Amino acid sequence: MEYVLRTDGLTKQYRGFKALNDLNMHIPKGAIYGFVGKNGAGKTTLIRLICGLQVPTRGEYYLYGKKNTEKEIAASRRRMGAVVEMPSVYLDMTAEENLREQFRIIGLPSFDGIPQLLKLVGLSDTGKKKAKNFSLGMRQRLGIAVALAGDPDFLVLDEPVNGLDPQGIIETRELILRLNREQGITVLISSHNLDELSRLATHYGFIHRGGMVKEIGAKELEEACRKCVRLAVSDIGVLARVLDGMNMEYSIVSEEEADIYGDLNLSKTVLALAENGCEVTAIHERDESLESYYVSLVGGEEHE
């Protein structure tokens, strides 16, 4: 598999505090990678390192196969665009003026691509309206447009929907999906909004105390979080035999409980159990969310 970003034992230490601790991370080309962790877990530190704003204490990372200590890493970084923390826009400039300034900064020879870029992020009709009069969602999309000015194929977004209203969240989500699906841009998203992230991500990395707890694909995660019915019974052995006879998929949770997957005929199951002298003592529908999955990974410590 081809990785846009790979880290190997990446560590960043500030005096006695390790912001990153032997982090191993793999972002496949074409992915929307959801980077999940509470405040202080090391998400922004990782982003600052790969953007070249800081250097690792130990370990290395590879952008498009180029190691961070190689001269070629500069060329790899030019294939990146990033919005770190707050969008970097000039509030007293229009959207077009902001993009013209960015084009100048990165040395692009002409402004021909600006109208298309404004159209891509849904800001082509803002005219002479200055960024200070934009909604937060519009500023976020302008920040993404600025990050896209150099035509990158790897986009890094730090908390892209933080503080946005529902409409702003929807607009930002649709933009990210469009960039990924139509432009083929690989996206790394650091976010606290796990419900929103679950609508976007194809891959996830769960970080805790500077280390990677787990990397998982969206399909695998969906399987882990799928809906089930949890039955508590007086005899788990009888339940297992009945479910086997019904060709149902299940997992034994405890000496009294089992999770049952698929379309369960509850009435038929309860009747079959009763005929075998087994009583149903409790029934619960379960649908584990991304948030509860994360909490279970980090030992019950909730994200902030």
pLDDT computed for residue 300 by the predictor: 56
Q: What CATH class has 3-222?
A: alpha beta
- In this structure, which topology does domain 226-287 adopt according to CATH? Alpha-Beta Plaits (3.30.70)
Each residue's pLDDT tens digit in the chain (304 positions)?
899 999 999 999 998 899 999 999 999 999 999 999 988 899 999 999 999 999 999 999 999 999 999 999 999 999 999 998 778 899 999 999 999 999 999 999 899 999 999 999 999 999 999 999 999 999 999 999 999 998 999 999 999 988 889 998 999 999 999 999 999 999 999 987 888 899 999 999 999 999 999 999 999 888 777 778 999 999 999 999 999 999 998 989 899 999 898 888 999 999 999 999 999 999 998 776 788 788 878 865 544 4
- Taking CA atoms, 237 is separated from 42, 251, 267, 268, in Å, by 46, 12, 19, 17
Question: Which residue in the block uniquely carries the two structure tokens 């976020």?
Answer: 140
Widest CA span in the chain? 81
pLDDT tens digits, residue range 70-116? 999 999 999 999 998 778 899 999 999 999 999 999 999 899 999 99
The residue extents of the domains of the chain are 3-222, 226-287
Domains 3-222 and 226-287 share a fold: no
Planar angle of CA 259, 260, 261, nearest 5 degrees? 120
pLDDT computed for residue 302 by the predictor: 46
Give the predicted TM-score (pTM) of the model: 0.81
β-bridge partners, 260: 229, 250
pLDDT computed for residue 294 by the predictor: 84
Distance between CA 303 and CA 288 in Å, rounded? 16
pLDDT computed for residue 88 by the predictor: 82
